Chains A and B, each alone.
Chain A
Amino acid sequence: MLIGAFNLTKFIDSLSMTFVSGYFLLFVIIVVAFYYAASLKNRWVALLVGSLGFCAVMGGWQIVVMPVLVTVISYCAALMLEDKSEERSKRRIILIAAGAVLLIALALVKLNLYYKWDVKRFVFPVGISYYTFSAISYMADVYWGKDKAERNYFKLLLFISFFPKILQGPIARYKTLGKQLIIGHPFFYTQFCYGMQLAVWGYFKKMVVADRISILTTTVFNSYNNYGGAILFFSMILAALQLYCDFSGCMDIAGGVSQMFGISLEQNFNHPFFAKSGAEFWQRWHMTLSGWFKDYLFLPISRSSFVKKFSKKIGNKHGAKARKNTVIFISSFFVWMATGLWHGSGLPYIVWGIYWYVIINSSILLERPYASLKSKLKIDEDKFGWKLFQMIRTYLIFSFGRLLTIPNDLHATGEIIRNFFTKINMWELFDGTLYSLGLTIKEMHILAIAVVLLWIVEIQQTKFSVREKIANCNVVIRSLVYSGSVIIVLIYGIYGPVYEKASFIYMNF
């Protein structure tokens, strides 16, 4: 256990290769060296070897099997889907069949996790949800004529297995990422530095904030009956922040490492806690997943003949607004069920999907009463106070939703919610109980300072590029910022026993 002091030996020795590991840093240095040593034409080969090597070192060659098979299926399917001499109906069957095979494989992985079958090593390749969705979007885009089929199997394999994104995404589109991976990028010092900065910021979010909060939330939620409503509520608030820092931290590391190769990954987060409604939140949180569901589920369902006919019937009876709402309510139901099941296999995830379905759609359904209420209360929507209220409300809605899945047991969630109201014990926040949850007073202060720093940077990021601002400072300030950031992560990062190696939350999806 080591909190607050850096132990290099433990840091290197204790971890298998995930992003938060000494081996990973060493690995990135090696791949970067090989990438820029290779000719421009062959740089993609260095990335492919590195990506397959990453999978192999991370979990053995079994982990490599699934991306290789997923690529075989999508490669063959895309070539057939592009052949316009085939009838459209036949190509459609190919798309459905290939998509179904990939989704069945994904479902088996999910069921294996849920029922704990004894085939874990083979069917639990990490990140399968992410690259399966990338493969399906690639095939669908080729089928619709929005993208061309890749002729070189190994180039497609690189797209599927590119190591910075294989663990937790983002869910890449071939149109955006594929060509970037294949073109050899020349070395640009500024871009390389920006990449390192972003990765260090990601490590700060993950190791200083998320893993520190994790100690507290794990203690509380593992024995929730021992704590009163105030502590439970406080932990619920922190758990939402933990998830954000864990996931967006990983995205920053992935984005930063990719940028070192001159490659831009798609944006996955856009300051979600500044969202003023549930709908806006999902436009800012895990954006590549929302975008995927929009393009490959919401649009096809809303354009299906059944939905079109049914909504038209409703529209003829009740008007255009009712028709529009019918389309939304039917299509988004499938989207939210799928989003829930994408995150996990049990009932809590289905309830979580229904929870968001109701929240988002009730705001559409109750749009007029809300507007009338706001007018009656004379609420000025441009006032900062109102916007702040909306942001806090959205944060609480998200935190509460997260509570449905944290214990992975609805009965436990119910108990926690009951304790919010029946065991309110505000005094627990001030009588020292807070410091008995795994974090000492000093650790809590570090956490508080880190969260304030996080928020300041997040606010600044909405106004200008913090990285460019730092880059424009003189060499002394720049060096202080760079070295200070690294030292903060090394000293205040969490490397203790409560911190489980490879424990990125979204890696399990």
Chain B
Amino acid sequence: MEKLYELLENCCPTVDFKTEKELVSGKVIDSVDLVSIISDIEDEFGVNIDIAEIDPSNFDSAEQMWALIESLR
């Protein structure tokens, strides 16, 4: 999880990923940030994220992203 926080903070330094719960639906991050985060997650954790999984319910918070990574491992 710490690895994920580090990755997210590198990608969007101005966003507080520990408290933010509406990253996508609240438009805190845009589509460009989202694509970068997905690529970084794939590289870092060796998972493949399908387009069907790109949904606010999987990317609105760091916890949701972590749950997705765990389910894909």
Contact = CB atoms under 8 A, between A and B. Distances in A.
Interface stretch (B15-23, B27-35, B62-70): B27-35
Contacts of B38: 303
Nearest to A270: B27
Nearest to B33: A324
B31 A298 contact: yes
B1 interface: no
A300 interface: yes
A311 interface: yes
Interface centre among A298, A303, A364 (most CB of B within 10 A): A303
B54 interface: yes
Interface in A275-313: 279, 283, 294, 298-300, 302-303, 308, 311
Interface in B15-73: 27, 30-32, 34-36, 38-40, 49, 51-52, 54-55
Q: Is the interface of B mostly helix, strand, loop or mixed?
A: helix
B31 A294 contact: yes
A283 B27 contact: yes
A364 B51 CA distance: 25
A173 to B, nearest CB: 12
Contacts of B51: 144, 299-300, 303
A311 B52 contact: no
A357 B36 CA distance: 19
A336 to B, nearest CB: 14
B54 A299 contact: yes
Contacts of A311: 39
Given A311-B39, A327-B36, A303 B54 contact: yes
Contact of B31 (A145, A299, A308, A320): A299
Contacts of A145: 52
A477 B39 CA distance: 56
Contacts of B52: 144-146
Nearest to A146: B55
> Which bucket holds chain A's interface residue count?
20 to 34
A328 interface: yes
Interface residues of B, number: 15
Contacts of B35: 298-299, 302-303, 324, 327-328, 331
Contacts of B36: 324, 327
A311 B40 CA distance: 12
Given A146-B52, A300-B51, A283 B30 contact: yes
A298 B33 CA distance: 12
A165 interface: no
Contacts of A299: 31, 34-35, 51, 54
Interface in A218-258: none
Interface in A352-400: 364
B2 to A, nearest CB: 19
A327 B32 CA distance: 9
Contacts of A300: 51
A323 interface: yes
B36 to A, nearest CB: 5
Nearest to A293: B31
A360 B5 CA distance: 29
Contacts of B40: 320
A324 B39 CA distance: 9
A34 to B, nearest CB: 36
A292 B27 CA distance: 15
14 contacts: A144-B52, A145-B52, A146-B52, A283-B27, A294-B31, A299-B31, A299-B51, A300-B51, A302-B35, A303-B38, A303-B49, A303-B54, A328-B35, A331-B35
Interface of B: 27, 30-32, 34-36, 38-40, 49, 51-52, 54-55
Ranked 8 nearest A-B pairs via Cβ: A144-B52, A294-B31, A302-B35, A324-B36, A303-B51, A328-B32, A145-B52, A327-B35
